[in-house]
Chain A
Amino acid sequence: MFKKALSLVLALTMAFSACMIFASCQGEGDLKGMSESPLPAPELTVDFEVKDDFKIGFIFLHDENSTYDKNFINAAESVKALLGLTDEQVLMKKNIPESNDCYEAAVDLANKGCDVIFADSFGHEQFMLQAAKEFPNVQFCHATGNSAHTANQPNFHNAFASIYEGRYLAGIAAGLKLNEMIEAGKITAEQAVMGYVGAFTYAEVISGLTSFYLGAKSVCPSVTMKVQFTGSWYDEGLEKEAAEALLSKNCVLISQHADSMGAPTACEVKGVPNVSYNGSTYTACPETFIVSSAINWAPYLLHIIKCANTDTAIEADWCGGIAEGSVVLSGINLDVAAEGTEQAIKDAIAGFKAGTLHVFDVSKDNFITVDGEKLTEYMADVDYDEAYTPDTQVIKDGYFAESEFRSAPYFSIKIDGIEFLNSKT
Chain B
Amino acid sequence: MKKEKKSVKTAENTLPSAVKKTERELPFYVVKRGDAEQTFGRAALIRASAIVIALLLCGIATIFVTGDNPISIYATMFKGAFGDAHNLWKTLQDLAILLCVSLAVTPAFKMRFWNTGAEGQVLISALATAMCMFYFGGAVPTPVLMLIMVAGSVLAGVIWAVIPAIFKAFWGTNETLFTLMMNYVAIQLVEVFLKVADKSGSNTVGPSLLKHGWFPELFGQKYLLNILIVAVLTVLVYIYLKYSKHGYEISVVGESENTARYIGVNVKKVIIRTMVVSGALCGVAGLLLVAGTSHSIDSNLVGGRGFTAIMVSWLAKFNPLMMVLTTLLLVFLNRGSAEVTTKFGLNTAYSEILTGVILFFIIGCEFFIQYKIVANRSHKLFKKKGGSENV
Contacts and interface: CB of A to CB of B under 8 A. Distances in A.
Does A pair with B? yes
Interface residues of B, number: 27
Interface stretch (B106-114, B142-150, B194-202): B194-202
Given A91-B342, A100-B296, A126-B296, 13 more contacts: A63-B347, A92-B345, A94-B341, A99-B204, A100-B293, A100-B295, A103-B207, A103-B294, A111-B86, A126-B207, A127-B207, A130-B206, A384-B200
Contacts of A384: 200
30 contacts: A92-B342, A92-B345, A93-B342, A94-B347, A94-B348, A95-B348, A97-B300, A99-B300, A100-B295, A103-B207, A103-B294, A108-B86, A108-B87, A111-B86, A122-B200, A122-B201, A122-B202, A123-B202, A123-B203, A125-B202, A126-B208, A127-B207, A129-B208, A130-B207, A200-B201, A202-B201, A384-B200, A386-B209, A425-B195, A425-B199
A104 interface: yes
Contact of A99 (B201, B294, B347, B348): B294
Contacts of A63: 347-348
A98 interface: yes
A108 B90 CA distance: 10
A127 B206 contact: yes
Contacts of B84: 111
Nearest to A63: B347
Interface of A: 63, 87, 91-95, 97-100, 103-104, 107-108, 111, 122-123, 125-127, 129-130, 146, 200, 202, 384, 386, 388, 425
B86 A99 contact: no
Contacts, number: 69
B298 interface: yes
Nearest to A100: B294
A285 B113 CA distance: 53
B301 interface: yes
A388 B87 CA distance: 39
Contacts of A108: 86-87, 90
A97 B302 CA distance: 12
A126 B202 contact: yes
Contact of A87 (B87, B195, B298, B345): B345
Contacts of A127: 206-207, 296
A81 to B, nearest CB: 14
B173 to A, nearest CB: 33
A146 B202 CA distance: 12
Contact of A104 (B90, B195, B204, B295): B90
A200 to B, nearest CB: 6
Nearest to B297: A99
A425 to B, nearest CB: 7
A149 to B, nearest CB: 15
Nearest to B93: A104
B345 A126 contact: no
A308 B206 CA distance: 28
A108 B296 CA distance: 19
B104 to A, nearest CB: 20
Given A126-B296, A129-B208, A98 B86 contact: no
A99 B296 contact: yes
Central interface residue in A126, A129, A384, A388, by most chain B CB within 10 Å: A126
Contact of B298 (A95, A98, A386): A98
Contacts of B86: 107-108, 111
Contacts of B207: 103, 126-127, 130
A146 B301 CA distance: 24
A95 B296 CA distance: 18
A11 to B, nearest CB: 24
